[in-house]
A and B are shown apart, each in its own frame.
Chain A
């Protein structure tokens, strides 16, 4: 089955700096890669996603890049703000099977 690895597990950045979270996957059949943000005690919520026929997608301060050859994808958050502090999960999907990374706890220091 699919194996998704996510790094780093924790990340601290100063407010205004950029944050990058990286994920790798093992199954080349994976074709959908969402990123979820989970605040403490809350449900995961989608922040951005990318399909396998696209290399990059941007939504304001958030961007995701996908390298299908290398089987890795990354989340980039620019101009970080304290409200960006949360746990971020990447995932890879094959049909209805979603495999999540182990999460990155991001802390933005004011």
Chain B
């Protein structure tokens, strides 16, 4: 009955590989997000989707491509992984845009070797 879930929890891979992280929410929320938290704990929004439509795409390299097959899922695919992509990636969801509490997933720790 987890509200926001992500898989995998840990991801260790070589530079240049392509990998995906999956996110699912069972809260019936309309809006989903991806955040990157670097080694200094700084949380930065990457993407925001509302009803499967991209709302925000912050200055993220185009190697990162989100996909939302339906309202409950927002996956993140990363091509040609680089060392600097190593971070914890959090998925989150909220009832709607802007003024609603965000519920975060448990995070995916990505390590690029």
Contact = CB atoms under 8 A, between A and B. Distances in A.
B86 interface: no
Interface residues of A, number: 23
A83 B113 CA distance: 35
Nearest to B4: A43
Contacts of A46: 101-102
A96 B104 contact: no
A73 interface: no
Interface string B66-96: 0000000000000000000000001000000
Contacts of A102: 40-42
A77 to B, nearest CB: 19
Interface of A: 31-32, 34, 38, 42-46, 49, 51, 87, 89, 93-100, 102-103
